[in-house]
Amino acid sequence: MEPFGLGIPTIGLFVGFGLLIGILFGFFGMGGSFLVTPTLLVIGYPAPVAVGSGLAFVFGTSVIGALRHRDHGQVSYTLAAVMILGMTFGIEVGTRIVFLLADLGSADVVISAAYVGLLGVVGLFVLRDARTDGTEVGTGRVATEVQSITLPPLVSLPGGATVSVWVILAVGSSIGVLCGCLGVGGGFLLLPVMVYGFGIPTAIAAGTSALQISISGAFGTFVYAQSNAVEIPVVAALLVGSGFGARIGAGATRLVNESDLKGYFAGMLLAGSVATASKQASAVYEVETLETVSVVLIFGTAALISGAIVRASIDSLGTDRQREPPWTH
């Protein structure tokens, strides 16, 4: 029996993996597409399908986040509107690049290599940040240099910043190309760009990022769906699981200290990089063991880190209860 073209065990696998990704999404505040797309590549889906399905997944998760931030007034609609114009253009360019690479027969190799590099570099930076307790010097200098570009028209942003529309469009287009090529929402780039580059408050940056990702993700999903490059049953199963997991992850954020959070995130990124590299190496050298290693790495790491988050939360709750005076029980 295969409802929606997937066997019951496969549906269960994707729902379970979605649950793990949901925990990570709720915990780290990112859509999780940077893990979904390489996972689909590792499983064996063609690159265009993996990218299109990754965009569809991030669209579904980001809509929920955008609505929550809107209720708290944490969205800059002016910045979102300008950035979305740039990202829409970039996604269209990125999509064309993917299908061109697919026609040339090199999409899987190029996109996998890009993921290996991207996840590895970001993972190492996050790991270094965790080991140095996040100590950084001169983060405001970048925002000052960006705001010194006074090419009109200019846009006033929350936090008192004034940024050129052309700068925002250029940044949006660049991130859009990355989204269209790799099937990521771009949240792990949008957030630091808006905070450190544009100088707006973190809460508003998070809300604006979620709104941008939901709209650009919808556009990207539509573009890929026109070429039948979105596996709707897979995306639906992932979203069902992630909806439950996100609640667990969001609650855990208040209970786990920041250095542990960064360490978990770095471990997940580095494991994703190694898993994607192993998958490509197995295809090139025809070593089935490497393919098994890639699957175990990407699923196992998600399970281990999600479990560690839940365990750390339970331990933290237990410690807090022991500290409470007996008459409060």
Gap between the Cα atoms of 73 and 67, Å rounded: 10
Cα 201 → chain centroid = 20
Does residue 1 form part of some domain?
no
Give the Å distances, CA to CA, from 221 to 6, 19, 62, 242: 21, 22, 13, 18
**Is the separation of the CB atoms in 8 and 1 below 8 Å?**
yes
Q: Is 171 left (phi over 0), alpha (psi -120 to 50) or beta?
A: alpha
Does residue 242 form part of some domain?
yes
Does residue 158 form part of some domain?
yes
Residues 6+ apart with CB under 8 A from 299: 17, 39
Most distant pair of Cα atoms in the chain: their distance: 71
Domain count for the chain, please give it: 1
Does residue 329 form part of some domain?
no
Token pair of 137, please?
Answer: 């010097």
Does residue 109 form part of some domain?
yes
Does residue 65 form part of some domain?
yes
pLDDT for res 4 = 54
pTM of the shown model: 0.68
Token pair of 96, please?
Answer: 């064309």
Gap between the Cα atoms of 291 and 160, Å rounded: 51
For residue 159, what is the DSSP state? T
Domain limits for position 14: 8-317
Instruction: Sort 253 into a burial class: Cβ within 10 Å, 0-12 / 13-18 / 19+.
Output: middle
Of 151, 179, 172, the closest CA to residue 163 belongs to 151
Of 37, 54, 51, the closest CA to residue 98 belongs to 51
The CA-CA-CA angle for residues 246, 232, 107, to 5°, reads: 100
Residues 6+ apart with CB under 8 A from 70: 207, 211
Provide the residue-wise pLDDT of the chain in tens; the chain has 329 residues.
455 566 777 788 888 888 877 776 666 655 566 678 777 877 778 888 888 888 888 887 777 667 776 777 778 888 888 888 998 899 889 888 988 988 888 887 888 888 788 778 877 876 776 676 544 444 566 667 777 787 788 888 877 778 889 998 998 898 888 888 877 666 667 777 887 788 887 778 777 887 887 887 788 888 888 888 888 888 888 888 887 777 776 666 666 665 666 677 777 778 878 877 887 787 777 777 877 787 787 777 777 877 777 777 777 666 655 555 554 44
Does residue 324 form part of some domain?
no
Gap between the Cα atoms of 105 and 292, Å rounded: 24
Does residue 3 form part of some domain?
no
Helix (H) or strand (E) holding 155: strand 154-156
Amino acid at site 315: D
